[in-house]
Structure 1
Amino acid sequence: MILTISKSFRYEREIKKSRFVANAFHAASTARAMEFVERIKDPQASHNCWAYRIGGEYKFSDDGEPAGTAGRPILGAIEKQGLDRVVVVVTRYFGGIKLGAGGLARAYLGTAAECLRSADKQKILDYLTVKFEADFDATGSVHAAVEKQGARMVGERYTESGINAEIEVEENSAESLRTALLEATRGKGVFTIRSRSRNQAEGEKK
């Protein structure tokens, strides 16, 4: 199960007089992630370090901190919690005491991790769009099966041979839907997978 955060979240703490402020945001694309980074950056801060992971894409920045002490640990916090479509910016206001490379890495990792742990989560679900073809007299049975399986009819047209339905269903429920539709049409329907997409399950928090 893959999770994302359901809404932006802010977390702040002080470490040896330096103030670390983490802001986490859900981003469906790299463009949205970078928009958030630019919006959150504080030009008055010592450093604005960030990282994002969106599907197979990831990127991070140390923003002037020693290499490997900020951006990579922030990305590690995202990955360790199994999150996707997430961007985190950790802003540091230097307090006059140097933390050293190890101390910096722990500070950025810990601040990002606590921010993400405290944020509301929701699942990211994989969906399939399937096509189902059946005779006209099976139309009512097809609709009933789709509703019972918790799937969604997203398109419907009629041809000379019968009904041609386009249905969206959660991937792990696709086989159950296929079985229900074939039973409803006494094995006379044709079930075809058309496409796959990844969407959020609205309101499902953890």
Structure 2
Amino acid sequence: MPFTLASPAHYILEIKKSRFICCVEPMSDRSTAQTRVATLKAEHPGAAHVCWALLAGGQSAAVDDGEPSGTAGLPMLNVLRHQELEGVLATVVRYFGGVKLGAGGLVRAYTDAVAQALLVADKLPLQKRTTLRCTVPYALEGLLRRQISAAGATQLKVEHSSRVLFSFSLLDHETTTFIAYLNEACHGQLVWLINAD
């Protein structure tokens, strides 16, 4: 079962005077991750490297940021994969201590920094959601709003035209039962739309 993180977690590792400051945090996509990395670079102008790895919504990244190829980003990404994480960004800010660690030492340092941060992180089971779209007559708008709220679904969008269009998401395993319930509650006046956004 895949997991995500409830909140950011940090760990600082010191090896031969080099300092590795790791953060693992929930992250929705690559562009948000790149913004976060840019912020870290601005916050740590004296750092030698800001390496990162991302697994989010089918997007992945492994960035060495000037470290020898394959010694930072990929080992970090492998830790995320090994722990079955999704929607997670791992960053390591490295301050160089003047002693070279070699390729093996770098791989161990970046792997350990991420693994240690994940030991203190609060992991949550990742529950897949389905997005549904439907239309109802105006007379049923209030009923549908109440049912969506009562089911714990997330209302994404409501549009008004000749009918009221609802977009909402709920947990995958609840979808079939909820669709059947709404069909009955709306007495055949609800129309499901295909190709949900």
With normalisation by structure 2, the TM-score equals 0.75
State the number of aligned residues. Answer: 192
Q: Which residue of 1 aligns with 2:103?
A: 101
Q: Of 66, 81, 84, which residue of structure 2 is paired with 1:82?
A: 84
Using the TM superposition, give the Cα deviation of residue 176 of structure 1 relative to its aligned residue in structure 2, in angstroms. Answer: 1.0
- The percent of aligned pairs where both chains have the same amino acid is 34
**Mapped contact 2:5–2:122 kept (Cα < 8 A):** yes
Judging changes above 3 Å, is the alpha-carbon distance between structure 1 residues 191 and 46 closer, same or farther for their aligned structure 2 residues?
closer
Q: Of 114, 131, 134, which residue of structure 2 is paired with 1:131?
A: 134
Counterpart Cα distance in 1 of 2:196 and 2:116: 37
Alignment of 1:28-177 (within 5 A): 28-41=28-41, 42-122=44-124, 123=126, 125-133=128-136, 142=144, 145-151=147-153, 154-155=157-158, 159=162, 164=164, 166-172=166-172, 173-177=174-178
Using the TM superposition, give the Cα deviation of residue 31 of structure 1 relative to its aligned residue in structure 2, in angstroms. Answer: 2.6
Query: Does residue 22 in structure 1 map to residue 22 in structure 2?
Result: yes
1:43-63: CA deviations, max 9, x gaps?
Answer: 323333222233222222223
Q: Which residue of 2 aligns with 1:204?
A: none
Counterpart Cα distance in 1 of 2:77 and 2:196: 30
Structure with a larger share of its residues in strand = 1
Using the TM superposition, give the Cα deviation of residue 75 of structure 1 relative to its aligned residue in structure 2, in angstroms. Answer: 1.4
What code does the residue aligned with 2:39 have? R
Judging changes above 3 Å, is the alpha-carbon distance between structure 1 residues 169 and 25 closer, same or farther for their aligned structure 2 residues?
closer
Q: Which residue of 1 aligns with 2:12?
A: 12
**Mapped contact 1:128–1:194 kept (Cα < 8 A):** no
Q: Structure 2: give runs of 5+ residues left out of the alignment.
A: none
Judging changes above 3 Å, is the alpha-carbon distance between structure 1 residues 135 and 40 closer, same or farther for their aligned structure 2 residues?
closer
Q: Which residue of 1 aligns with 2:182?
A: 181
**Mapped contact 2:3–2:123 kept (Cα < 8 A):** yes
**Mapped contact 1:47–1:92 kept (Cα < 8 A):** yes
What code does the residue aligned with 1:118 have? V
Q: Which residue of 2 aligns with 1:192?
A: 193
Counterpart Cα distance in 2 of 1:66 and 1:135: 62
**Mapped contact 1:131–1:194 kept (Cα < 8 A):** no
SS in 1 for 2:196: strand
SS in 2 for 1:176: helix
Counterpart Cα distance in 2 of 1:187 and 1:111: 56
Give the root-mean-square deviation of aligned CA atoms: 3.2
Counterpart Cα distance in 2 of 1:59 and 1:152: 29
Using the TM superposition, give the Cα deviation of residue 94 of structure 1 relative to its aligned residue in structure 2, in angstroms. Answer: 3.4
Indicate the structure (1 or 2) with the bigger Cα radius of gyration. 1
SS in 2 for 1:115: helix
Q: Structure 1: give runs of 5+ residues left out of the alignment.
A: 197-206
